[in-house]
A and B are shown apart, each in its own frame.
Chain A
Amino acid sequence: MKEDNYDVVIVGAGIAGAILAKELTEKKKRVLLLEAGKASDDYLSYLEVFYTALAKVPNSPYPNNPNAPSQNVLNLGPIPAGAPNLNGYMVQYGPVPFGSDYTRVSGGTTMHWLGHSFRMLPNDFKLHSKYGHGVDWPISYDDLKPFYEKSEWEIGVSADVEDQIYPGMGNNFFGKNYYYPMKSLPASYLDQKVAGGINGMKVKLGKNAYPLSVITTPQGRNSTPNKGYKPIGASWDNNIGQRCEGNSNCVPICPVQAKYNALKTLNKADQKYLTVINQAVASNLIIDPETNRIKGVTYKQYQSAQSSDHTSHTVQGKIFVIAAHAVETAKLLLASSAANSSDLVGRCLMDHPTMLTWGLMPEDIGSYRGPGATSHIPTFRDGAFRKEHSAFIVPVDNWGWLWGEFSPGSDVTRAINQLNLFGKKLRGYLDGFVSRQFGLQFEFEQLPQHANRVTIDPNYLDQLGNYRPVVHYDISDYTRAAMEAAKGVSDMIFAKLGVEDYTELQPRRYRLSPMERGQAIHSRAQGIWSALIAWERTNQIRSLTKTRNHGITKTCTSSDRAACRLLELPILR
């Protein structure tokens, strides 16, 4: 195939790039896919690295690649006043460190995502007109709905429509005959205990009382298939991974590929029409000065992560899709002075700030079994309180105190070193302590803020001479107020369930005096403990997606992102 012959050139082999490659090649379009990281056939080697990694953070299984670096949450730390924190790949100006990471390998960040696949709610699209905050989307939930369905079937989401009851969902949230491709994963024993304890309990936020519910979480993870769907297992042996086995390390890597990753989609692309170049880092977009359209992309190809030796190439095509993740996409556009007459490229960077609370249940709840979370509390995803503070979702954590305390490893260390326990006494102590560990996550909505942004600076380059992302990031009062409200919700739930709160009783805790509650996130940004807390922020990978013709940047979760990409497909028909 001649190099200038591509119908579409895609930068990035993550979920968006893979879905596009699949859809386009099915329509016999010739596609070139450029991927900065390694090829897709290294899954088993990722597992080996993961097994031996000391800190099993989201990027621990994936190669440390100075030619296509990724942020590692172990590098998070406080940001000194007036100077950036340069420890990791990102140049962090703060004032709050941006805590999420992404993975630059074939398959992208779906390699380490948790798999939670929520749809946004109708009111999320009209936040400004409804609650006076943020902005309204130029499209509505109904516009996106068919693409959510398509995405859920591509990802292979397990959920039962009848369980999925959210606030403000309206009466036609799911189409009349819609069903997910697979049945819901069973709620864990722990979920059932929590649901039994708090379902229907009323919690007051502002003037209104909200009844709590605990429902199963839709997730891209194999379970019993519904009609018309066939689960896809491991790439090296489809007999493995046909169902989630409960290995409990979805993040950073599912050992059997029962969890969706974009490689599954990429493998479905019609290989006759697809050319993939790995270890090819896009560095510049070439713009035709006459038409102002992109006509080519320059990439640097390297042979080994250990050496900066590389060759530069330029490819041409009819259409270019930059699907390289929120941060990398913005970087590439900025580096190329492309599409930025609005000065909005790289702005409105978002994350989902997370607060953890944890405590000890009065009885054994079977902690640390199953995927990260099988249920959640949807109650605070929408409501009148959004006039005062942001919405939040509350996953009920199956992994106990892992993120809060690095349990159960830290419990073993403490029992041996401080309590001098060994043998049967040690086992007995851990049996009684670890299996009662309970944790809630509170994940908060962030509004688009212009000052939260990715920029570039010629003083900060990586080994190949490409820009490192320079990040300015803060959490607004609107979100901080939600954190304070959420701690109140947590206290009420703990009281109802008889949970003994350990959130504030441990070293390196964040002290939640009212003044400090909003600071919860960055006051924890010290050392490995807090690094681990950043894990759950990867549940939903946020991405900036340019909506066509509006010049407005919007954020999407990864399943939204897939939907957004599909939405743009009609251009090519």
Chain B
Amino acid sequence: MINRLASIRPGIKNIDDLRAHLQIAIELEHSTIPPYLCALYSIPDGMNVQAAQVIRSVVMEEMLHLTLAANILNAIGGSPDLDNPDFIPGYPTRLPDSSAHFKVHLERFSKRAIKTFMKLERPAKAGAMPEADNYQTIGQFYAAIEKGLKEICRHNRHFNRDRSIQVKPEHYYGGGGGVIVVDDLDSAMEAIKVIVAQGEGLDHTLFDGDRKIFGENREFAHYYRFNEIRRERFYSDHDSVKSNPSGAPLTVDWDQVYPMKINPRAADYPEGSELRRKSDEFNVGYTTLLKNLHDTFNGRPDWMMKSVGDMYKLKYLAVELMRVPCNDKGETAGPAFEYQKAE
């Protein structure tokens, strides 16, 4: 993923730059979804309920961010591209974290996975615009988009005002607030604010932006919710952003997990084997989902409905894989999230 970020030069000078940035925003939001899903699906139903709840709420927000980025891109005459072999990063993928970067794996729910998730969601000031040749933080990247929107789309320039291609609340549901229809600069800025605020904590408080923006119950921003899981303890009213949680204990059973091997791939299994067939089935299913979402974001918002059923089906396929032992370390197979068209 870091290569994709590096592929664009910082700064947005024209509408094409802005569209290119938004396409990468979509890819960026997507890139964390498979890792979150692997951790989530590796928790058997009814186990580690609180941990599953946090991961689920985060992954649903990432899906919302993806949709919002697509709505903005659509609104300014771009065409989101999800049906593309390069859309899915190979795992492990690398993401930026200040001047360094870190690896993100497809892995089961574990302390290590939670630590990675905390890095993904770490609150950070956007910082000054980079003087280097590329973005060093995701914060910088989104700050550039905000600035670019304000400048390039001033006086609502470039907005096509075509609501028929926007994904609207009746197409989209789930946690993390509602989808925003983008048809002018104000709504575009509102959408960007949701993307930035939910992940990182508004004004660097413990709480995320939902309350301000959607009037929902306030929730801890992702980073802190993951920290609660990691420390097996809730934050109390007396805790600050700098402390670790010191409230009531939160039960986590790190062993109640399907022991999925790290970064599974279809090529791990011999051609013609049952596992290969299952793995292929998952990959084809995921690729089909991306194709349907691609169409959804390119003029057929009502097709979102089709994707919902596909998502459930993928969950079942993923869990099936996670139940099948695949090596002598006692590990099981898992979903590979590889681009694979049906034959």
Contact = CB atoms under 8 A, between A and B. Distances in A.
Do the two chains bind? yes
Nearest to B217: A238
**Interface size range on A against B:** 10 to 19
B312 A245 contact: yes
A538 B176 CA distance: 36
A225 B49 CA distance: 27
Contacts of B175: 238-239, 242
Contact of A44 (B49, B56, B57, B173): B49
Given A236-B53, A237-B56, A239-B53, A231 B46 contact: no
Interface in B121-177: 170, 173-176
Interface residues of B, number: 13
Interface in A34-50: 44, 47-48
B60 interface: yes
Contacts of B174: 239, 242
Contacts of B53: 236-237, 239
Interface SS of chain A:
loop
Interface in B32-48: 46
Given A236-B53, A239-B53, A242-B173, A44 B46 contact: yes
Contacts of A48: 46
B210 to A, nearest CB: 12
Given A231-B173, A245-B312, A239 B46 contact: no
A176 B307 CA distance: 35
Residue in B46, B49, B176, B308 with the greatest tally of chain A CB atoms within 10 Å = B46
A182 B153 CA distance: 37
A243 B173 contact: yes
Contacts of B170: 224-225
Contacts of A239: 53, 56-57, 60, 174-176
Residue in A44, A224, A239 with the greatest tally of chain B CB atoms within 10 Å = A239
A226 to B, nearest CB: 9
Contacts of B56: 237, 239-240
Contacts of A224: 170, 173
Nearest to A230: B178
Contacts of B46: 44, 47-48
Nearest to A245: B312
Nearest to B58: A239
A44 B49 CA distance: 10
A237 B56 CA distance: 9
Contacts of A238: 175
A245 B57 CA distance: 18
A242 B179 CA distance: 14
A397 B334 CA distance: 37
Contact of B49 (A236, A242, A243, A245): A236
Contacts of A242: 173-175
Contacts of A225: 170
Contacts of B176: 239
Contacts of A44: 46, 49
A236 B46 CA distance: 11
Contacts of B308: 243
Interface string A267-290: 000000000000000000000000
A401 to B, nearest CB: 25
Interface of A: 44, 47-48, 224-225, 231, 236-240, 242-243, 245
21 contacts: A44-B46, A47-B46, A48-B46, A224-B170, A231-B173, A236-B49, A236-B53, A237-B49, A237-B53, A238-B175, A239-B56, A239-B57, A239-B60, A239-B174, A239-B175, A239-B176, A240-B56, A242-B174, A242-B175, A243-B308, A245-B312
Given A237-B49, A239-B53, A240-B56, 5 more contacts: A236-B53, A237-B57, A239-B175, A242-B174, A245-B312
